[in-house]
Amino acid sequence: MPHLTVHLPENRLTGNEPVLVAALTDAIVDVYGEWARDLVSIHLAGVPTGRFAQGGKPVDTNASVILGVRAGVFDRPDAAQITARLGAGLTGAITRVLGDDLRAGTMVELVASPPERTFVGGARAV
Q: How do residues 50-104 score in pLDDT, each as one tens digit?
A: 898 889 999 989 999 999 988 888 999 999 999 999 999 999 999 999 999 999 9
Confidence of residue 15 (pLDDT cuts 50, 70, 90): very high
Residue 33 has pLDDT above 90, yes or no: yes
Residue 126 has pLDDT above 80, yes or no: no
Confidence of residue 23 (pLDDT cuts 50, 70, 90): very high
Average pLDDT over residues 24-46: 96
The pLDDT of residue 8 is: 95
The pLDDT of residue 22 is: 98
The pLDDT of residue 115 is: 78
Q: What are the distances in angstroms from CA 19 to CA 9, 82, 95, 113, 115?
A: 16, 24, 12, 28, 31
Confidence of residue 124 (pLDDT cuts 50, 70, 90): confident
